[in-house]
Each structure stands twice: as C-alpha cells, then as structure tokens.
C-alpha cells in the first residue's frame, strides 16, 4: 500500500484556504487548476503584483495585514481600470520558521478581504524559500467588452482628478522606519502609519471611473511618477496645482514641521488612490458618482497638448523634484 504523501503543511493550507475558495470553479482547491466562465459580454482584466518581506512590508507586520496588503495592491489596479473583481490566484513562498499560527492568521486576513471585496481564491501554490516571505497575487476582474480604462486616452482639456488623499503612506513609512520628531498627535501618527500598513483600495469608485474617465492609473509609485506614466502613454502634458493635491490633516501637520516632506508626499508611493482624467462635460457627473460611492475626489489640474508634467506651487512657480532625476521629457 502506497502511503499518503500529504504533508502537514498541505493539510494546513487546505484547511485555511479552502473556505476562501467559494467559487464552484475553484473545485474547493482539490485540483491543479480552476475554471471560470467570464460574465457574458465582458472582457477579463488581468493583473499581477507581488509583495516581498523587507521590501514591501516589515517582516514583523501582522500576518493579517500582510495578506490584506497583498490583495489590496492588486484590487487597487482593478479599481483604476474600472473593473469588478472576479477572483485571484495566490503564490506563496514562505520561510520555514513562520509557524502554523502565522499561516492561520494570514489566511484569516485573506479571507476577510476576499469576502469584503467579493474576490474569492481560485487556486494557489505554496513553496518554502530560504529568503523572505513573498506573496504574489494574480487577480482577474471583468469589464463590459472594450471598456477597460487605460493609461492611454487622456485628451487635451480633460480635468485631472485624484481620489482620497496623497502622501500619507509615504510619510507613514518614514514614521515607521525612522521615527522622526514631527510633533504629531497620536491620531495623526496612527493615521499615517495605518495608511502605509494597509491600503484602502477604491474599488467602490471603479464603476464611476469606468463610465467617466478617459484614462486612469492607480497611485502606487507616487503621484508625480504615475501621472508622468499616464501622460506619456496618452501622449499629452499635464499642469497640476500642487496646492490642490488633497492631503490629510496628518500629512499637512508633518509638512508644516518639515517642508521637504511635501516632495515625499507628492513623489512617494503606496497611496493606492485613483488618478484619472475626465472630459469637462463629464466632470459634474463624475463628482456626483464619486459622492454616491462615498469617495472624495479632487480636481488637481488639466491635460494639455504636448508632453511633460508640471506641478506648480502657490505662486505659480514650477516645482522641481529631486527624486527621479533621469528624464525622457
């Protein structure tokens, strides 16, 4: 009689991850692959992003928030593309010494977000690694055929909108890493730290983006850099009023203490807000749809013909940024 080679780890994974695999095509994770029939008349939207311990999260972060971050950085991309989540594949590489409790907590975090965002697990792969934990997610969503909102598509005259507030996560990372003396109160500190720790992707805004935006990108590498990417692919220029860029009380307090942090806020990453361009005749409707979705959106500038991205300060002067010194523009 051949013995069952199922390892304790396999069983643990089946126990923790099966409850997240709620779609019938996931076959309860009992197979090598899953199958799905995309909604009729829809395109499938495909996207992948990975997070690595010591690079995208601190190894001592709570496993639940690590799981949440792994899913949410991907959910944020779907939101910016106007897509509705369908599900995800999970590829886990874990150090040997993490232990059962870690995996159990990680799976709980994953399950909470899979439910919250209606995005079930379709399958996965787990392996040990001599390196740091790495969590790679491949996520798929759907849009009515031909309606995925791209980086390309911004037109001269379009208005530039951004959701939520910008810079909190980049400041939160500095706060976490260097513990600087910014004289923030407890609530302000907590706000910045939390915004770094666990993204709040704007999936409730996806439908409004899809039906109004000419181009869109999620702000993951910093507002400045991501706007440059959008403008380059759209072959347009942008003029941004830096003072109109929405910032939280906490971020403003930090910047009031140290003016150099304004650049950190504008060029830092991990915002997971949506940056999109909207034709002027759709702007009022977009604002209304965002309000219905309970997501603040702010007009920060305009698209024009040409190339390049200009951020202007309160006196109209063009701001220069130290970060990202190489230029194609």
* Of residues 156-215, those binding a second copy (CB under 8 A): none
Query: Using an 8 Å Cβ cutoff, are 308 and 230 in contact?
Result: no
Judged by CB under 8 A, the chain residues 81 through 110 that form the site for a second copy are 81, 83, 89-91, 93
Q: Which is nearer to a second copy, 159 or 230 (CB)?
A: 230
Least spacing, CB of residue 220 vs a second copy, in Å? 8
Judged by CB under 8 A, the chain residues 41 through 60 that form the site for a second copy are 43-52, 54-56
Query: Using an 8 Å Cβ cutoff, are 303 and 154 in contact?
Result: yes
Which of 14, 98, 204, 233 binds a second copy (CB under 8 A)? It is 233
Q: Which is nearer to a second copy, 1 or 260 (CB)?
A: 1
Least spacing, CB of residue 130 vs a second copy, in Å? 6
Q: Which is nearer to a second copy, 91 or 190 (CB)?
A: 91
The rounded distance, in Å, linking the Cα atoms of 214 and 277 is: 6
Query: Binding to a second copy by residue 217, rule CB under 8 A?
Result: yes
Residue whose entry in the numeric block shows the structure tokens 């190894």: 59
Query: Using an 8 Å Cβ cutoff, are 253 and 182 in contact?
Result: yes
Query: Using an 8 Å Cβ cutoff, are 247 and 167 in contact?
Result: yes
Q: Which is nearer to a second copy, 111 or 151 (CB)?
A: 151
Q: Around 328, how many Cα atoms within 13 Å sit in the side-chain half-sphere?
A: 8
Q: Which is nearer to a second copy, 30 or 186 (CB)?
A: 30
CA neighbor of 36 nearest in space, from 148, 116, 109, 138: 138
Which of 110, 119, 224, 276 binds a second copy (CB under 8 A)? It is 224
Q: Phi/psi zone of residue 183: left (φ > 0), alpha (ψ -120 to 50 degrees), beta?
A: left
Which of 9, 100, 115, 145 binds a second copy (CB under 8 A)? It is 145
Using CB under 8 A as the binding criterion, the count of chain residues that bind a second copy stands at: 87
DSSP 154: -
Judged by CB under 8 A, the chain residues 247 through 306 that form the site for a second copy are 267
Segment near a second copy (CB under 8 A), from 62-70, 216-224, 272-280, 294-302?
A: 216-224
Least spacing, CB of residue 210 vs a second copy, in Å? 12
The rounded distance, in Å, linking the Cα atoms of 58 and 189 is: 18
Query: Using an 8 Å Cβ cutoff, are 229 and 217 in contact?
Result: yes
């Amino acid at each position: 009689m051949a013995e069952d080679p199922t390892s304790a780890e396999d069983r643990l994974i089946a126990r923790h991850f099966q409850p997240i695999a709620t779609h019938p095509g996931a076959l309860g994770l009992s197979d090598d692959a899953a199958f799905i029939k995309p909604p009729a008349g829809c395109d499938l939207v495909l996207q992948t992003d990975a997070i690595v311990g010591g690079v995208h999260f601190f190894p001592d972060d709570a496993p639940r928030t690590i799981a949440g971050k792994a899913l949410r950085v991907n959910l944020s991309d779907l939101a910016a593309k106007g897509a509705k989540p369908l599900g995800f594949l999970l590829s886990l590489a874990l150090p040997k010494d993490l232990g059962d409790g870690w995996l159990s907590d990680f799976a709980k975090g994953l399950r909470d977000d899979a439910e919250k965002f209606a995005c079930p697990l379709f399958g996965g792969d787990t392996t040990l690694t001599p390196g740091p934990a790495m969590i790679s997610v491949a996520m798929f969503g759907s849009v009515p055929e031909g309606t995925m909102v791209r980086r390309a598509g911004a037109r001269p005259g379009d208005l530039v909108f951004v959701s939520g507030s910008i810079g909190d996560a980049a400041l939160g990372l500095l706060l976490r890493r260097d513990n600087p003396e910014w004289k923030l109160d407890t609530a302000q500190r907590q706000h910045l730290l939390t915004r770094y720790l666990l993204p709040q992707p704007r999936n409730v805004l996806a439908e409004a983006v899809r039906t109004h935006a000419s181009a869109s990108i999620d702000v993951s590498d910093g507002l400045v850099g991501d706007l440059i990417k959008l403008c380059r692919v759209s072959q347009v220029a942008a003029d941004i009023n830096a003072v109109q860029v929405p910032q939280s009380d906490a971020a403003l307090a930090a910047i009031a203490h140290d003016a150099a942090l304004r650049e950190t806020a504008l060029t830092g990453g991990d915002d997971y807000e949506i940056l999109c361009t909207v034709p002027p005749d759709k702007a009022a409707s977009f604002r209304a749809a965002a309000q219905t979705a309970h997501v603040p959106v702010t007009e920060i500038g305009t698209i024009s013909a040409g190339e390049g991205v200009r951020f202007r300060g309160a006196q109209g002067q063009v701001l220069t940024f130290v970060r990202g010194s190489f230029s194609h523009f």
